[in-house]
Structure 1
């Protein structure tokens, strides 16, 4: 099954453009995962330990971290809250090993839906986050959206290389 891909509008306002490009890159990464076996989701290329499954698991955490933890100031739920991040900084990438595409996609979809609901409550892109960076400086919602577009676009490129090496599929 190929997941649908919706192109962003050609002349959106700022908010719509940011939201549509984030949605677009979410879809691109999800398409790279769709239909792969657990073994394929754990496939690596060259000396990198990066996997498509790990990428989607990481992006699921990224969604929850930025919207729940940083923007709203709430604590993360499971599986993230019980991870000792000081001991295993790559747990999100590594924990995808053995998961199915359906499991990874469902968790990511739920995180994105939650992020979209949180974002819908924000009326101004200049709204500051509840939590800040290590110096306490707060982010605005515009910065979060730009950062997530960058994060997804970077990992979509990684996923392109991995997927092509797995089964030759290219595109998006």
Structure 2
């Protein structure tokens, strides 16, 4: 059974549009994982190492990384905090193997809800993040939302191809 999909408003304010498009692509990616078995979640297409399970786990990290670590300036929680990212740079993608869709989607939903709560506390899209890039330049909240829309849309496309290869599903 496919998860519901809510289209963004066609006449939004700037902030409403950014938040609704981010939520839209969050939903699209979640729909790609919905109902898959652990084996299907590790399915790969051609020479790519991407899997739907890995994409969902990666986007769960992306949520916490951008909203907690960069925007708020706080440390990541576990499991992310205990990963040796230098020796396992793709841990988020690789560690999803063996997880169920329910486990991955539940963790992702919690992470998205936490991001929404953090974002609700921000009044100004021009507010700068607590942490910056490697050169120290800080991002504004608008940039984070635009970046996350791009990140989710790109991975939604990857997930589209993988899901179609698994069972022929082509909606969204």
TM-score strictly above 0.5 = yes
Unmatched runs of 5 consecutive residues or more in structure 1 = none
Measured in 2, the distance between the counterparts of 1:140 and 1:26 equals 21
Report how far residue 2 of structure 1 moved. Answer: 1.3
Distance (whole Å) between structure 1 residues aligned to residue 72 and residue 116 of structure 2:
13
Alignment-derived partner of residue 20 in structure 1: 20
- Determine the C-alpha separation between the residues in 2 that align with 1:10 and 1:81: 39
1:135 aligns with 2:164: no
Q: TM-score, normalised by structure 1?
A: 1.00
Q: Which residue of the partner structure matches residue 84 of structure 2? A: 84
1:101-116 correspondence runs (5 A):
101-116=101-116
1:131 match: secondary structure = strand
Give structure 1 regions of 4+ aligned residues with deviation exceeding 4 angstroms.
Answer: none
Q: Secondary structure at the match of 1:81?
A: helix
> TM-score, normalization: structure 2?
1.00
Residue deviations 1:135-168 (CA, integer Å, cap 9, x gap): 0000000000000000000000000000000000
Q: C-alpha distance in 1, partners of 2:45/2:140?
A: 36
Which residue is 2:67 aligned to?
Answer: 67
The equivalent residue for 1:94 is 94
CA deviations 1:104-162 (Å, max 9, x no partner) are 00000000000000000000000000000000000000000000000000000000000
Instruction: Number of aligned residue pairs: give it.
Output: 172
Post-superposition offset of 1:171: 1.2
1:154 is aligned to: 154
Q: RMSD of the TM alignment (CA)?
A: 0.3
Residues 6-58 of structure 1 deviation map (CA, whole Å, 9 limit, x = unaligned) = 00000101000000000000000000000000000000000111000000000
Long gaps (5+) in structure 2 = none
Query: Equivalents in 2 of 1:121, 1:4: separation in Å?
Result: 27
